[in-house]
């Protein structure tokens, strides 16, 4: 998922945590209160509806300047009214005095229950391959738990690690 992050405001004030996801069907950027990313511009250098952006994959989006009078800049190159182009994660969009950047969304951290389910799954696999003594799992599993918590695994990473454990189990059952 791609998000839009407000990087710079025209008054030089900190941009703050203004991050908005780009909707699957597209998102609007402008000063109108119903835009997905509202750029509050009292100087009116930003149109009410200045740009529309729609994801084109995990790291690209199609950007269209929907302002009728004002251009916008992509990495310093002008995109005139009605113009469109593909932008990448990390590109810099200049709209009026604002700077906005498409970025990848932060991954969501796994909750404690998911991590414990992963550890239970791995304990079963480690017992099955003879690496873990079921009578004495006292040291290894707490250490793995600490390591996973320190690493702040994401939900996606939990799914990947569980998939690896399932593959190990399946390969052992087919032997």
Please say whether the beta carbons of 6 and 15 come within 8 A. yes
Residue 55 has a pLDDT of 94
HEC string of the chain equals CEEEEEEECCCCCCCCCCEEECCCCCEEEECCCCCCEECCCCCCCCCCCCEEEEECCCCEEEEEECCCCCCEEECCEEECCCCEEEEECCCCEEECCEEEEEEECCCCECCHHHHHHHHHHHHHHHHHCCCCCCCCCCCHHHHHHHHHHHHCCEHHHHHHHHHHHHHHHHHHHHC
Strand partners, 6: 100
Each residue's pLDDT expressed in tens, for the chain with a length of 175 residues: 889 988 888 877 766 667 888 999 999 999 999 999 999 888 889 999 999 999 998 889 999 999 999 999 999 999 999 999 999 999 999 999 999 999 987 767 888 888 899 999 898 899 888 888 877 767 888 888 888 888 888 888 888 898 898 888 888 777 6
Question: What is the reported pTM?
Answer: 0.62
Q: Which domains does the chain have, with CATH numbers?
A: 2-104 (2.60.200.20), 112-174 (1.10.8.590)
Please check whether residue 66 is in contact with residue 51, taking contact to mean a CB–CB distance below 8 angstroms: yes
Which pLDDT does position 102 carry in this prediction?
94
Q: Could you tell me the two tokens for 24?
A: 């699957």
Q: Is the dihedral of CA 127, 132, 133, 138 positive or negative?
A: negative
Supply the pLDDT for residue 68: 94
d(CA 154, CA 106): 10
Describe the strand order of the beta sheet including 37-38 as a list of residue ranges. 37-38, 27-30, 51-55, 60-65, 84-88
pLDDT at 140: 85
> Listing from the earlier edge strand, what are the strands of the sheet with 72-74?
19-21, 2-8, 98-104, 93-95, 72-74, 77-79
For residue 9, the model assigns a pLDDT of: 87
Q: What is the reported pLDDT for 86?
A: 97
pLDDT in the model for residue 132: 87
Q: What is the pLDDT of residue 70?
A: 93
């Amino acid at each position: 998922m791609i998000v839009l992050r407000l990087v710079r405001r025209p008054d030089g004030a900190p941009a703050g945590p203004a991050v908005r996801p780009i909707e699957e069907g597209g998102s609007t950027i402008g000063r109108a209160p119903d835009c997905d990313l509202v750029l509050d511009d009292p100087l009116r250098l930003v149109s009410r509806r200045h740009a529309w952006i729609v994801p084109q994959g995990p790291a690209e989006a199609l950007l269209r300047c929907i302002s009728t009078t004002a251009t916008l800049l992509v990495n310093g190159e002008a995109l005139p009214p009605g113009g469109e182009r593909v932008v990448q994660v990390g590109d810099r969009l200049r709209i009026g005095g604002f700077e906005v950047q498409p970025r990848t969304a932060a991954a969501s951290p796994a909750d404690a229950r998911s991590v414990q389910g992963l550890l239970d799954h791995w304990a079963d696999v480690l017992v099955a391959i003879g690496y873990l003594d079921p009578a004495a799992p006292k040291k290894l599993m707490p250490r793995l738990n600490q390591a996973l918590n320190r690493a702040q695994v994401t939900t996606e990473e939990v799914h990947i690690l569980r998939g690896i454990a399932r593959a190990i189990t399946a390969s052992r059952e087919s032997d």
